[in-house]
Amino acid sequence: MKEIPLGFVAGTVIKRIDWAEHLFSLHVHAPASAFPSPPFTAGQFSKLAVRNENDEWVRRAYSMVNKPCIEGDDAVFEFLVIEIPDGKLTPLLGDLKPGDDVLVGTLPAGFMTLDEVPDTTKDLWMLSTGTGIGPFISILEEVEQCQRFDHLVLVHAVRTQEELVYKDKIIDLMKAYKGKLRYVPIVSRESVSGALSGRIPQQLQTGGLATAAHVPLTEQNSFFYLCGNPNMVHDTRDALQQMGYKKHLRREAGHFSFENYW
Ligand SMILES: Cc1cc2nc3c(=O)[nH]c(=O)nc-3n(C[C@H](O)[C@H](O)[C@H](O)COP(=O)(O)OP(=O)(O)OC[C@H]3O[C@@H](n4cnc5c(N)ncnc54)[C@H](O)[C@@H]3O)c2cc1C
Ligand SMILES: NC(=O)c1ccc[n+]([C@@H]2O[C@H](COP(=O)([O-])OP(=O)(O)OC[C@H]3O[C@@H](n4cnc5c(N)ncnc54)[C@H](OP(=O)(O)O)[C@@H]3O)[C@@H](O)[C@H]2O)c1
């Protein structure tokens, strides 16, 4: 393998799940000795890198979907990726299969974690589009830590039904949470029974999300994490601000925080 860039370690693809054309998950193992223990905090992202046809490393950020863990000598990472036609890295990731090499960044980062949620929060709302559901699955895997909340609401907005990924995992988590976890799928470009239609900001403002989740929105109890498409993040911020919610800052507790994927 060409010399590994600083801040990366060689990993191996262990498993691949294809959810739909262009939408897949990669399970990657990398030497645990290259990472802190645990290797990351639920909700964080790391980087993946692959060499392109010009022999250059192409690297991008990807959130971990799994619960932080180490198996034997390996740190375990799971990533959910959508392949962007003409994208620089995702078509290369899309070619990976079990046994292939991929570089993993050794410095996981990001503040969309449970520690950053204000202590006063009773209901944690996780609003995602597309692959933005990934870090929320990782957070939800921390079942014990999440017991501090009365309710957890996972909202996943996608274009088509086949992009509603990790359904079996979500069903298992709902059982583990014994009623605390509510799952609200939104499908925008098909009519799907059991899913809301439209978009997150509109469903927030009309009360559709609160009704579907059976969890009221209140300034006292609700905290919102937003993740995925930056246009969704922008419009949802506007909607939340119009509803009286404030951006969360470390120096001044507020009601929402976000991570843009591009
Ligand atoms: C903190 C962070 C975490 C991220 N986590 C993930 C993740 O878990 N899974 C993931 O697939 N991507 C994630 N991304 C996006 C990822 O880093 C790449 O930008 C993406 O995979 C496209 O890479 P590319 O080289 O193929 O496309 P590029 O050649 O860089 O083209 C970028 C264009 O692709 C589109 N795009 C980028 N990311 C997405 C996306 N996730 N969904 C839909 N359209 C997109 C946008 O139009 C963007 O302008 C994350 C980004 C950040 C900043
Ligand atoms: N080649 C292919 O066949 C193929 C297939 C799938 C994806 N892709 C690639 O993947 C990318 C799309 O990924 P994705 O499906 O995760 O994309 P997305 O465009 O981020 O759509 C995900 C969800 O976000 C919603 N959304 C978009 N803008 C919003 C806003 N301003 N406010 C609130 N919600 C908003 C969408 O609603 P709306 O539907 O109303 O916009 C949709 O429900 C594309 O850029 C494309 O390159 C390619």
- What local confidence, expressed as pLDDT, does residue 220 receive? 97
Give nearest CA residue, ligand 1 atom 32.
87
Low-confidence ranges of the chain (pLDDT < 50): none
- What local confidence, expressed as pLDDT, does residue 230 receive? 98
Q: Could you give the CA distance from residue 200 to residue 258 in angstroms, rounded to a whole number? A: 14
Ligand 2 atom, smallest distance to 87 CA: 47
- What local confidence, expressed as pLDDT, does residue 1 receive? 56
CA of residue 228 to ligand 1 center, whole Å: 9
Helix or strand holding residue 92 (H, E): helix 90-94
- What local confidence, expressed as pLDDT, does residue 44 receive? 98
CA of residue 111 to ligand 1 center, whole Å: 18
Ligand 1 atom, smallest distance to 65 CA: 8
Q: Using a 6 Å cutoff on CB, does residue 189 contact ligand 2? A: yes
Name, in order, each residue with C-beta under 8 angstroms of 123's C-beta and a sequence gap of 6 or more: 149, 150, 151, 152, 153, 215, 218, 221, 222, 223
CA of residue 229 to ligand 2 center, whole Å: 7
- What local confidence, expressed as pLDDT, does residue 2 receive? 65
- Token pair of 123 as six digits: 């209901």
SS3 167: helix
| CATH 2.40.30.10 given to domain 8-105 | yes
- What local confidence, expressed as pLDDT, does residue 25 receive? 98
pLDDT tens, residue by residue, 2-57: 689 999 999 999 999 999 999 999 999 999 999 999 999 999 999 999 999 999 99
- What local confidence, expressed as pLDDT, does residue 103 receive? 98
CA of residue 33 to ligand 1 center, whole Å: 28
Name, in order, each residue with C-beta under 8 angstroms of 134's C-beta and a sequence gap of 6 or more: 62, 63, 64, 65, 79, 80
Q: Label residue 169 exposed, middle or buried (CB < 10 Å: 0-12, 13-18, 19+).
A: middle
Q: Could you give the CA distance from residue 129 to residue 12 in angstroms, rounded to a whole number? A: 28
Considering only CA atoms, which of 104, 97, 122 is closest in space to residue 13? 97
- CATH of 114-260, picked from 3.40.640.10, 3.30.499.10, 1.20.1440.230, 3.40.50.80, is 3.40.50.80
| Domain limits, the chain | 8-105, 114-260
Q: Could you give the CA distance from residue 197 to residue 192 in angstroms, rounded to a whole number? A: 8
CA of residue 262 to ligand 1 center, whole Å: 6
Around ligand 1, the residues with Cβ closer than 6 Å are 45, 60-63, 79-82, 84, 87-90, 130-131, 134, 259, 261-262
